[in-house]
Amino acid sequence: MGDWGWCGSTVKRENSHSRAVLEEEGGSTGLNEADSEVMADARFGNGWIKQMAEWRGEEGIPKTRSENGTGVRTISQKLALLGVGHLVGDWSRKADGSPEEDLDLLKHTQGKCLSNLFLKPPILSQMPGGARVLYIAIFVIGVFAWYYLQKPSQTRALSNGVQIPLIGFGTAALRNPKESISRALESGYRLLDTASDTGPWYRTESVIGELLANRRQKVFLTSKVHPQDLGAVATLHSFEKSLKNLRTDYLDMLLLHYPRCWGDMCSRPSEGTWKDAWKVLEREYKKGRIRAIGVSNFNVWEMDELISWASVKPHLVQTHVHLFHQPWDLVDLCRKHGVLVQAYSSLQDYNRVMNVSAVVDIASKRGKTVPQIVLRFLLDNDVLVVPRSDNVTHITENFNVLDFRLSEDEVASLRNVVP
């Protein structure tokens, strides 16, 4: 750092010493105890005076007290040398009250401390090489840091530290999977939500595998094990098949789609239970083949049981959350245990939602669309979203909800919506 130093470090310790030295020089310092405190605050340090004198080619501490012999000018000079001349008030005047004349000395040495360097940067060319590089580096890093801090975060950390995008793209029941998923990726979505092709709802794993051939690592991939495939062997088989379809050797998230078969969703009974399947997920997670694991469509009791029983706690639960279906008991339980909640089917019943004055009013007041307010409402409740659309405008619109937040009152009014 050459001649440059930080002025504030030795202040208090040096202050009394400075007074003693000045008094040795003959004459009063013109300082009382209160003044000393000011000087301490002003980062007055004798060591630095000495160093500054040396910069100017003088030997040791400047001995010249002012011509009138009061010592007042010496002090004002020295304070000004430290770049704190503005704090000295009357001291920067001669004893007869006339203004300080020897300003050249003060100007010459102002800003030689690092503390002043950042507050009053001298012309870059006057800085020593090392300090110049440091100054520019800090400035550039500061600008980038400021820029990134201003940008709303697009991800959230799961309990294991893995970052998951706040908004994903739902791929169930797409009419034009390839076009819509491509559009979503172009619009900025970095999470694709799919599921094994065992059931009729998703036929998108292979499409996604094809689309992500060259950019797998840029996208957070979630897939799910169909309830028909619950069991020690069947679940592993389902996982392997998903990897193959998706043309990858790992998943970012694997969920058990349902805790069991119900209705006509399964064409045969499952081999085992969700607990058998969960053990497979835990094992593959520990091997590093899945970065995070979770479940879907588990109710509060099932979730409670899973959390207390599992050796790897679930990282996420995907469940139905909508303006007309707000399962806060489940959300609160998950929050208590560090499990993130991700909403599905949150844009269903669009026509009915369009009749809810609370949401329509907020949308018109904020210049947003109703789906944007619904998605933002969920995000403001720490619930992640995976909207689905085949419409280019909707795909973009649904993603553009990160640059605003709802007020507490707005959130409260939407929490009270009655279907």
Ligand X SMILES: NC(=O)c1ccc[n+]([C@@H]2O[C@H](COP(=O)([O-])OP(=O)(O)OC[C@H]3O[C@@H](n4cnc5c(N)ncnc54)[C@H](OP(=O)(O)O)[C@@H]3O)[C@@H](O)[C@H]2O)c1
DSSP strand pairing (191-193 vs 220-225) = parallel
Catalytic: 344? no
Applying CB under 6 A, the span of 11-19, 65-73, 86-94, 342-350 interacting with ligand X comes to: 342-350
Least Cβ distance, residue 327 to ligand X (angstroms): 14
262 binds ligand X per the rule CB under 6 A? no
Q: Which is nearer to ligand X, 291 or 388 (CB)?
A: 388
Among 148, 189, 202, 350, the one annotated catalytic: 202
Report the SS3 class of residue 169.
strand
Alpha helices in 247-369 (DSSP H): 274-286, 300-309, 328-336, 350-353, 357-366
Distance from the Cα of residue 73 to its chain's centroid: 52
296 binds ligand X per the rule CB under 6 A? yes
- x-or-dash pattern for ligand X, window 372-411, by CB under 6 A? --------------xxxxxx--x--xx-------------
Among 170, 199, 209, 314, binds ligand X (CB under 6 A): 170
Among 297, 298, 331, 359, binds ligand X (CB under 6 A): 297
Q: Which is nearer to ligand X, 66 or 372 (CB)?
A: 372
223 binds ligand X per the rule CB under 6 A? no
- CB 208, CB 194: distance < 8 Å: yes
172 binds ligand X per the rule CB under 6 A? yes
Report the SS3 class of residue 95.
coil
Q: How many Cα atoms within 13 Å fall on the side-chain side of residue 120?
A: 10
Least Cβ distance, residue 385 to ligand X (angstroms): 8
Query: What is the b/e burial string over 363-399, where b = at least 16 CB atoms within 10 angstroms of the residue's CB?
Result: beeeebbbbbbbbbbbbbbebbbbbbbeeeebbbbbb
10 binds ligand X per the rule CB under 6 A? no
By CB under 6 A, the count of residues binding ligand X is 26
- CB 357, CB 142: distance < 8 Å: no
Q: Which is nearer to ligand X, 21 or 360 (CB)?
A: 360
- For residue 186, what is the enclosing H or E element? helix 177-187
Angstrom distance (rounded) from CA 99 to CA 307: 76
Angstrom distance (rounded) from CA 418 to CA 3: 71
List strand residue ranges (DSSP E) for 168-292, in order: 169-170, 191-193, 220-225, 253-256
- CB 32, CB 91: distance < 8 Å: no
Ranges within 122-161 binding ligand X (CB under 6 A): none
List strand residue ranges (DSSP E) for 141-241, in order: 155-157, 163-165, 169-170, 191-193, 220-225
347 binds ligand X per the rule CB under 6 A? yes
Q: Which is nearer to ligand X, 35 or 205 (CB)?
A: 205
205 binds ligand X per the rule CB under 6 A? no
Ranges within 311-330 binding ligand X (CB under 6 A): 318
371 binds ligand X per the rule CB under 6 A? yes
193 binds ligand X per the rule CB under 6 A? yes
Among 344, 363, 381, 406, binds ligand X (CB under 6 A): 344
Residues noted as catalytic = 202
> Which residues would be at the binding site for ligand X (CB under 6 A)?
170-173, 193, 257, 296-297, 318, 344-348, 350, 369, 371, 386-391, 394, 397-398
